Amino acid sequence: MSTIKNNMLQRFLKYVAFDTESNDNATCVPTTEGQFVFARFLEQELKGMGLQDVLLDEKGYLYATLPANCNRELPTIGFISHVDTSPDMSGKNVRPRVVENYPGGDIVLDAKENIVLSVADFPEVENYKGHDIVVTDGHTLLGADDKAGIAEIISAVEYLQQHPEIEHGKVRIAFNPDEEIGRGAHNFNVAHFGCDWAYTVDGGAEGELEFENFNAGSATFTIQGRNVHPGYAKGKMLNALRVATALVQSIPSAESPECTEGYEGFYHLMGINGGVDSASVSYIIRDHSKDIFEERMSFMQKVAKDMNAKFGDSVVSLDLKVQYRNMREMVEPKMYIIDIAKEAMQQAGVVPMVKPIRGGTDGAQLSFMGLPCPNLFAGGINFHSRYEFVSLQVMEKAVMTIVKIIEGVAK
């Protein structure tokens, strides 16, 4: 195993030991103390490496600088990853295992409980034959999203420190909390970061390069019914759950995540809660097209209006919010930052795969805050699940892609 890969692996294994799930129900920043514990650990690591301007603010945002090693006037660029992991799956007591020189076939994560990373369910795993891949024990997520990105950024900085012959300008790095619940950019200090542009290192498979994401919204329908003893309910009861069922049936099921791909948008049913007297139905709305997204948001207003026409005025109320926008319009005027990333990938032996993100990224919000910020691959597969894994060979290529971007900006 190469020195870069071994050091990166040891770093990554330390990082995934921290429990850093974010919590969408919390109002504090960061939303969990574990994120602050991990950020403090990273703060000390960056200081120990001799980086400058290391700052961990009161909200858990960590910033640092690798100073320029040449006197030429060069752009300041940044690299960003997030410290939190998804609350969709436990990130506590992660027990990673390295499958060296993966031979192909199923990987048993827990033989006793028959938890298997199977080729039948996840055929992409066989793309990594011959790789050293890190898996879980099947009871937690791994945390490659986005601790792989953090390990790669720090390993790239370390590589540049060890190779002073590579000229580079000022490089800024930042690690933020609460990305997984859509709040990662909310308290990001763009002015303090001081970059001409940046890259989030938060993508998936090798070569992913993304500067388009969904326009995103949320819709919460609140339903007020009337609960009456069921034996005497005729003409009196209004069952909020039946209204909820009718509401869900009015939204096209063919336009859901499980039926769409590529640039196709969707309505995603997130939850139905309540009982006869009151209930709520929550959706998220996604589309790459700004115009179609607005149509989708308007459609949700129509659904609420139609339900009230059917069941009675004010039975259904709607809370409709825009969450984030497609960063493409902010990146397109500076497409050279995509060209630089493509060339860097090629120099690192990576085939660039420019594709839209079927989701969101801190980079989308940051782009609208004045920091153009496309997304680079970090290597993780099956994010947010017990079947998450990452290839060390791909992580090493991510490190070298970062190095080559920094080197390329100086040329």
Output the CA–CA distances (angstroms, integers) from residue 85 to 34, 42, 186, 316, 364, in the order listed. Answer: 10, 16, 17, 35, 19
**Distance between terminal CA atoms of the chain?**
31
Q: How many CB atoms lie within 10 A of CB 171?
A: 25
Could you say which of 132, 152, 178, 179 is catalytic?
A: 179
What is the sign, positive or negative, of the torsion defined by CA atoms of 373, 125, 122, 112?
A: negative
Burial class (CB in 10 A: 0-12, 13-18, 19+), 30: buried
Which member of 19, 21, 84, 362 is catalytic? 84
Domains identified in the chain, total number:
2
Contact present, 309 and 301 (Cβ < 8 Å)? no
Residue 360 has pLDDT above 90, yes or no: no
| Residues 171 and 49 placed together within one structural domain of the fold | yes
Cα–Cα distance measured from residue 299 to residue 303, given in angstroms and rounded to the nearest whole number? 6
Specify whether 179 is catalytic. Answer: yes
Both 293 and 346 in one domain: the answer is: no
Tens of pLDDT along 92-129?
Answer: 999 999 999 999 999 999 999 999 999 999 999 999 99
Mean predicted lDDT score pLDDT of the chain: 96
CB atoms within 10 A of CB 329: 12
Could you tell me if 348 and 200 lie in one domain?
yes
CATH of the domain at 301: 3.30.70.360
Angle in degrees, 0-180, between the axes of helices 33-48 and 144-162, rounded to the nearest 10: 10
Domain with 269, as residue range(s), is 215-324
Q: Residues 201, 245: one domain? A: no
* CA neighbours closer than 13 Å in the CB half-sphere of residue 262: 1
Residues of the chain above pLDDT 70, percent = 100
Catalytic residue flag (residue 84)? yes
The answer on 232 and 131 residing in a single domain is no
Same domain for 142 and 55 = yes
Tens of pLDDT, residues 185-240: 999 999 999 999 999 999 999 999 999 999 999 999 999 999 999 999 999 999 99
Sequence-separated (6 or more) residues with CB below 8 Å from residue 275 = 227, 240, 241
Out of 309, 324, 339, a domain closes at: 324
Residue 271, beta-bridge partner list? 282
CA 202 vs CA 176, 224, 252, 359, 380: distances in Å: 12, 41, 31, 12, 9
Indicate if the pLDDT at residue 5 is higher than 90. no
Residue 200's DSSP bridge partners are 80, 375
Looking at 306, 324, 342, the residue that finishes a domain is: 324
98 and 187 inside one domain: yes
Question: According to the model, what pLDDT value does residue 94 have?
Answer: 98
Three-class SS of residue 295?
Answer: helix
- State the Cα–Cα distance between residues 58 and 75, nearest whole angstrom: 28
Task: Tell me the pLDDT tens digit for each residue of 159-183.
Answer: 999 999 999 999 999 999 999 998 9
- Angle between helical axes of 336-347 and 392-409 (0-180°, round to 10): 130
Q: Which residue has the tokens 């990001």?
A: 188
CB–CB of 159/406 below 8 Å?
no
* 57 upstream amide cis, omega within 30 of 0: no
> Within this chain, do residues 316 and 402 fall inside the same structural domain, yes or no?
no
DSSP letter (8 states) at residue 183? -
User: In this predicted structure, what is the pLDDT of residue 324?
Assistant: 87
Question: How many alpha carbons fall within 13 Å on the CB side of residue 53?
Answer: 13
Q: Are strands 316-324 and 380-381 parallel, antiparallel or unpaired?
A: unpaired
Residue 199 shares a structural domain with residue 115? yes
Cα-flanking dihedrals φ and ψ of residue 254, to 5°?
A: -70, -15
Q: Residue 151, Cβ neighbours under 10 Å: how many?
A: 29
Residues 308 and 187 in one domain: no
Rounded to 5, what percent of the chain is helix, strand, coil? Answer: 35, 25, 40
List the CATH number of the domain containing 333: 3.40.630.10
pLDDT value of residue 1: 61
Q: Of 275, 297, 324, which residue is a domain's last?
A: 324
Residue type, 141: L
23 and 162 part of one domain? yes
By the 8 A CB rule, do 177 and 62 touch? no
User: How many Å apart are CA 377 and CA 354, to the nearest integer?
Assistant: 11
Task: Note whether 160 and 286 are same-domain residues.
Answer: no
State residue 358's pLDDT score: 87
pTM: 0.88
Question: Longest Cα pair distance anywhere in the chain, in angstroms?
Answer: 85
